[in-house]
Amino acid sequence: MVEFAGWEMPVYYAGIVREIEAVRSGVGIFDVSHMGEIIVSGPSALDLLQYLTTNDASSLEIGEAQYTLFCDERGGVIDDLIVYRTGDEEYLLVVNASNAEADFAWIREQNSFGAVCRDRSSERAIIALQGPASQGVLQPLVASDLSTLRKMCARHENVAEIDAWISRSGYTGGDGFELFCAGADAATLWNLLLREGESAGIEPAGLGARDVLRIEVCYPLYGHEINRYTSPVDARLTWVVQSGKGDFLGRQAILDAEERGPQCALVGIVAEERCIPRDGQSVLVDGEVVGHVTSGTFSPTLKAGIAMAYIRPDAASEGSPVRVDVRGKPCRCRIVPTPFYKAAKAFSTTTKQIERVKSDT
C-alpha cells in the first residue's frame, strides 16, 4: 500500500505481472474511487463546459462521453478529464485525483455563467472491470444487452440490486467497463464482481499494473506527459482541441502554438537491450541530450523496456536510434510508432517491429 493523492492505494495484490496478464488475456478489476467526480448542471451547464474545455461538449448526446482538457490562458494543461452527458442539462466530469480539489475550485472561479457545480468525489465510487472477458463477467448481473453499449458511452443500470452508471471505457486500452456507484455500495459491488468473475480468472489489480497498462497504450498521465507547462500541441493532443467551436480558455495560445509548431515531440521508445527506461532519465543522440523520459517501464506484454519521452523535433523520426541514460549507463533504444499495444490486433505491429529491432542488433 502507498499514499496516492491523499488515498491509501494498493500497488499490487497478487503481483504486477500476474495482474497485467489477467487484464490483457482475461479480466482484471480496479478500485479507482480516488478519481474526482464533479457534476455541472443547469441551463448554463453547457456554456460553462464549452468555455472551460477544449473539446466540443455540444456534440454529446445523453449517455455519451468524450476525452478533453482544461487549459489555462497560456494554453497549458490544467488537467485532462472525461466529460459524460448524464441528462438534458447535466454533465459528469471525471478528473484526476491529485487535481480534484483544485479543479473544483477552478471551475467555480470560472463559473460566471450561473451553472450549478457540485463535488461528489467523497460520496461516489468507481470500479473498473477491464479485459476481453469483462463483458462476460458483467452481463449476467444486468438486464440489458451490453454488446449494444458502444465505446465511450454509458447507461444507467441495476447491477444485481445496486444502482450504477455503467460506462464502456477504461485506462488500459482494451475492452472494459467503469461502474459508477454510491460509495456505500462499493464494497458490495466489488465482492459481487469478484465472485461472478471467479470462473474467468478475475484478478484484483493495483497501481503498478494500471501504470504499465496505460504506458503500453501511451495514455498520458498528469504530471508526466502533461502539466501546466505542456501545450496540447507538444503532447499530440490537438485531436481533442476543437478551435472551431468558439472561444474557450487557452484557444488563442493553442492556435499560436500550432502555427509555431511543436517545441518538443512526444515519442515512443523501445529498448534494444536489457534495461528499463524510467521517468526523468535523459535521452541522448550521439552523446547529446535531446530530451527526457516522461514515463517508462518494463512491459510484460511486449517483453521489452518501453517509454514515452519528450525530445527535440529534429531527433524524433520513427526508427531513429537513441540512447537512454539508465543510472549512468547509455541504453540502446529506438523510436517506434505508438501505441505500443493495440487491443484486438494482439500488438502484432509493435511486436514485429521490436523483433526486427532485436534481429538487427
For the chain, which domains are there? 1-33+121-217 (3.30.1360.120), 36-105+231-262 (3.30.70.1400), 264-361 (2.40.30.110)
pLDDT per residue as tens digits for the range 103-134? 999 999 999 999 999 999 999 999 999 999 99
CB-CB contact of 6 with 86 (8 Å): no
- Weakest mean pLDDT among 145-149, 311-315, 345-349: 345-349
pLDDT > 90 fraction of the chain, expressed in percent and rounded: 94
The helix/strand/coil state of 181 is strand
Rg (CA), the chain: 21
Residue appearing with cell numbers 465511450: 152
The DSSP-derived string for 122-162 is TTEEEEEEESTTHHHHHGGG-SS-GGG--TTBEEEEEETTE
CB-CB contact of 117 with 38 (8 Å): yes
- Whether the pLDDT of residue 321 is over 90: the answer is yes
- Whether the pLDDT of residue 183 is over 70: the answer is yes
CB-CB contact of 202 with 28 (8 Å): yes
pTM value surpassing 0.85: yes
Q: At what angle do helices 16-25 and 207-216 cross, to 10 degrees?
A: 50
* Average predicted confidence (pLDDT) for the chain: 94
Strand 28-31 with 203-204, pairing? parallel
pLDDT per residue as tens digits for the range 10-57? 999 999 999 999 999 999 999 999 999 999 999 999 999 999 999 999
pLDDT per residue as tens digits for the range 227-255? 999 999 999 999 999 999 999 999 999 99
CA distances from 327 to 6, 177, 269 (A): 30, 39, 17
pLDDT per residue as tens digits for the range 55-108? 999 999 999 999 999 999 999 999 999 999 999 999 999 999 999 999 999 999
- Average pLDDT of span 146-168: 97
